[in-house]
Each structure stands twice: as structure tokens, then as C-alpha cells.
Structure 1
Amino acid sequence: MDKTDFYQSMLGQVEAIISDENDMIANMANISAILFNAFDDVNWAGFYRLNKNELVLGPFQGQVACIRIPVGRGVCGTAVSEQRIQLVADVHQFEGHIACDAASNSEVVIPIYHQGNVIAVLDIDSVTKGYFDQEDAQGLQAIVHAFEKQLAL
């Protein structure tokens, strides 16, 4: 299956599971499970919720994670401060990387918006350097957009 079909399939799963649910935490939990189980080399998939000037751990799948990340620090905090996707081929080369799981080598972080403001991020880590590419970022952003639409209901 090519990446376009892979992400279309996953998007369909996400839309089906969240379509009748308006609880943000419940939807984050199910999306985390779908994503974690869809990839071969992903060791963490989940959410951090924005609370004032820091990200607070939300629903996830994987190893124990950092609980709080200041905005502007690490890959997740940078995604919030720059309000853009972070696609990092080698987290060990990312200045200020926060190593919550030493096994993580690459990462993609997608900001989540509600009413024009970043409210959370979707964070996915892989044990393989260079695991994520632009196609992954676009596919994951489509999943985040489906989640954002559900928040607006």
C-alpha cells in the first residue's frame, strides 16, 4: 500500500471513530491508538495539550513520557511557538531536544488549532532516523484537521 492509500485508510478509521464523539480526550485516546498501531517503527504516538505556557501530557500510546514541556522548548514546544509542523529526521541534531525516550530518533509534531489558537500538538516518534517525510506530515495533518473539525461541533 502506498502512503496516500495508507493515510486515506487511517483517516477513514479516525473519522469513523470520532464522528459521534465530542469529548476531546476520548478522541485523542482513540487517535493515539490508531496511529501507534498503524506504523512499524513508531515507539510513541500521542498528544500534548496547551495549558498556559506549557504543554501537558495528554492521551498517548508508548513508553512513559515527559509530563510538561515549556512552549519554545524541544520539538513539541517549538511546534507551538512557531505554529508550524516540525519534521525532524534526527532528533539528536535538534537544538534543545528533550529526550523523553532515549530510543526515539525521529519525530513529527503537528499543531492543533481551535478557534484560531494552538490548543495542543500531535506528536509521533520513531526509533528510525529519517522515518517521517513530507508525505507523512501531510497525511498526519489531514488526521489533525478531522480532529479539529470535530472540536468545532
Structure 2
Amino acid sequence: MAEDLNVITGTKTEQYEALLPQIEAIISTETDVIANLANIAAMLKTQFNWWWVGFYLVKQDELVLGPFQGPLACTRIRKGKGVCGASWEKAETIVVPDVEQFPGHIACSSLSRSEIVVPVVKGSEVVAVLDVDSELLNHFDDTDKLYLERLVRLISI
């Protein structure tokens, strides 16, 4: 079945408010987690045109690349390493205005300038992270944090 995304313009809040119900509708009828993560990454990339959007899944003692949209990505990340590994280890969202200033940043792409990573939690365990990169400095803020945290609560892994 073909799906259509209703891309809207407006404030960041208005865009998220229009996008989240669309994401919820798509993933509520599909049980395959990879399919859902792929659609979420595609919908976020299409709506916001971020540099890179994707998921890393916790597999044993590493984050392993999952569905994403954007250029080639790092495949495996250790716990505590880089922004993704730090978000996994702390089980908290991390907003990085300038990745060059983040201690231990992993440069999967030299074009990435700012980043937000949101953990996907099941019970009390982080099972994945949503990673979003921008080629612009200071691109992510509390609005992104609020809505992306809402979004990951919709995900069932």
C-alpha cells in the first residue's frame, strides 16, 4: 500500500504537531520494527530535511546501525563513545550545538555540525537511539528535544 506524507510548512512546533500523528498512524498498523524505524527516518528526513536521520539498535555491547536516511554512516558504536554512545550510557537525550566541542565526538561525516540523540527506552533499558545530525551549527533546541522524545515513546522495539 502506498503511503503519503503530508509535509507542512510553519513553525517547528506546527511541523511536529502535524507529523507525529502521521507517524503514529503509519506505525500503529505495522508490527515489524525495522519497517517502522525505516518509515520514521524517512518521514523525519522528508519533513525537516536534516543532514542525517537514523536509528542505532542496542545489540549486546554495541549500538549497531539500523534504518536511516542520509549519507554513509558509522556501523558500530561502543557504549559511552560519541554522542550516541553517551546517550545510551546515560539514558538521556543529548543536544549538541557544535559537535566539534563534544568530547569524544565520532565524526562519521565531517559535514555534520550539530546533533541530537534521543534514547529509545523499553522498561528501564535503552534498546536503541534516534540520531539526528545537521550540517548547521546549533540546529536543535528544546522543541526538537520535546517532540523527538514524544516520538520515541511511540516506538515499540
Task: Report the AA paired with residue 77 of structure 2.
Answer: I
Matches within 5 A, 1:1-150: 1-40=10-49, 42-148=50-156
| Structure 1 position 116, deviation (Å) | 2.1
Deviation digits for residues 9-42 of structure 1 (CA, Å, limit 9, x no counterpart) = 11011111101111111100000000111114x1
- Misfit runs of 4+, over 2 Å: none
**Distance between the aligned counterparts of 1:60 and 1:48, measured in 2?**
9
Q: Distance in 2 between matches of 1:115 and 1:58?
A: 21
The structure richer in helix per residue is 1
CA–CA separation in structure 2 for the residues paired with 1:37 and 1:70: 29
Deviation string, structure 1 residues 80-114 (Cα, Å, up to 9, x no partner): 11110010000010000000011000000000011
RMSD, matched Cα: 0.9
Q: Which blocks of at least 5 consecutive residues in structure 2 are unaligned?
A: 1-9
In the TM superposition, residue 4 of structure 1 has moved relative to its aligned partner by: 2.0
